[in-house]
Structure 1
């Protein structure tokens, strides 16, 4: 028997017209990764209260983690984990640790502070396959949720589908949960996107065809037009990253067909008749 909604509760077909999101938020389907470039504790708490149920991963951008007062950082990490979120430092900080030959200290501190996620990337440095695999495995051994990132951060660096496919297969085999496709926080002139932030359709098609399990790719898509495009091409449960904290609800609305851009995602219903 269908439960009737109370007067102060939205009808279930309004909450999730497509029927794919509301009951599956912790199934790791259609993950949303937020980029946090320096929210204070109160702002972070407000963000979690308002949008935390629609977020899976929070990345403390670049190397900003080392700039936090330690007590404040611990409180942010605790707040994220108490709400079931993965929280990790940006991959650039690990790259800095590699450059400074301080990887062991970096990982010790990541675990001591209370991070539960790790991003392994080589967007700025060169990292050989053996080192990359070793870092993935060590993160997993330390109990961290490991994601990797493919792509360079330099302006004009585009995606090589063959190289991405090879890297992804090796990363998955090493234990990475997801492979993130680089687009930086700008989403312009890098990765899949041109100088206007438009996706190279041909490259995307090749990537989807060559990567054996493309459902484990997370696409950095900081701009609304990119989010709409990726959802339309891949589906409501595409993993999307580098989402601004203020854009989480609008993205979730698009995933559910509650925004004009993706209104077709909503399930069809019987014709509406106004009852007098």
Structure 2
């Protein structure tokens, strides 16, 4: 695993936010979505940026398209670099329509995945089936990331559904719960133009209390990442980050970019409180 050494720079130059960013992290997580990155580019990405990535997702159903040897190399490299790596939730949804949940969890673990995304963005999944999926994942030593929300273009997050699913999934062993926004960032807590509903986000965080730290907010667009950091602080968990934006997101978190540099003087003051 690559270790970061910023000894050539004063600490406050490298991280004006003052927030600890060393791995392993329990907050300020960054989840990257991979839409089909080649092995060379992937190796280069992890060599340079793995200290700033916590979760790596092979998006949608792309897992099924990889030559087996390349897939296994990507999984091995992720593990060597300290990342949780998982197939996309859509792959889970499709696979269990043609097989069993038990078979799916066993197969992805045998392949070398270390985590799983459990979702119902396209096909419905009852709470009983969610619990079954979480249980089988844990039985196969997989880190469980569940997702709440739909992929329909007109979907807007529902307060009651989000809070209920968050509590349910965490109770049965989910590591974190992802709030759906798609790779476009135009559903869930965003409108069709990608604008965030700040009041809704603050309401969820306030209502969820300590459980709010276990939410991962999908935010693929730069302005959305800025809004979340301004609203919830640099330690907000962000998902569906493009591989090309890993450094960009980390600079936003640390206050090394103009969009967030000015707010770092008031870091720790949560506008939602």
Q: Flag whether TM exceeds 0.5 (same fold).
A: yes
1:15-46 deviations in Å (ceiling 9; x for gaps): 11122134x33122200000000001101001
Q: Match of 1:231? A: 229
CA–CA separation in structure 2 for the residues paired with 1:219 and 1:137: 24
Residue 99 of structure 1: which of 86, 97, 103 is its match? 97
Q: Match of 2:124? A: 126
Q: Match of 2:135? A: 137
Q: Give yes or no for contact 2:146–2:178 (8 Å, CA) kept in 1.
A: yes
1:112-123 paired onto structure 2 within 5 Å: 112-123=110-121
1:183-194 paired onto structure 2 within 5 Å: 183-188=181-186, 190-194=187-191
Residue 159 of structure 1: which of 129, 137, 157 is its match? 157
Instruction: State the number of aligned residues.
Output: 261
The Cα shift of 1:265 comes to 4.5
1:212-223 paired onto structure 2 within 5 Å: 212=209, 213-223=211-221
1:1-276 paired onto structure 2 within 5 Å: 9-22=8-21, 24-188=22-186, 190-212=187-209, 213-266=211-264
Q: Give yes or no for contact 1:161–1:210 (8 Å, CA) kept in 2.
A: no
CA–CA separation in structure 2 for the residues paired with 1:145 and 1:258: 31
Worse-superposed segment, 11-20 or 116-125? 11-20
Q: Where in structure 1 do 4 or more consecutive aligned residues deviate above 3 Å?
A: 265-268
Q: Give yes or no for contact 1:28–1:56 (8 Å, CA) kept in 2.
A: no
Structure whose CA Rg is larger: 1
CA–CA separation in structure 1 for the residues paired with 2:159 and 2:185: 18
Q: 1:48 aligns to what SS in structure 2?
A: helix
Q: 1:33 aligns to what SS in structure 2?
A: strand
The gaps in structure 2 that reach 5 residues or longer are: 267-273
The gaps in structure 1 that reach 5 residues or longer are: 269-276
Q: Give yes or no for contact 1:148–1:180 (8 Å, CA) kept in 2.
A: yes
Q: 2:238 aligns to what SS in structure 1?
A: strand
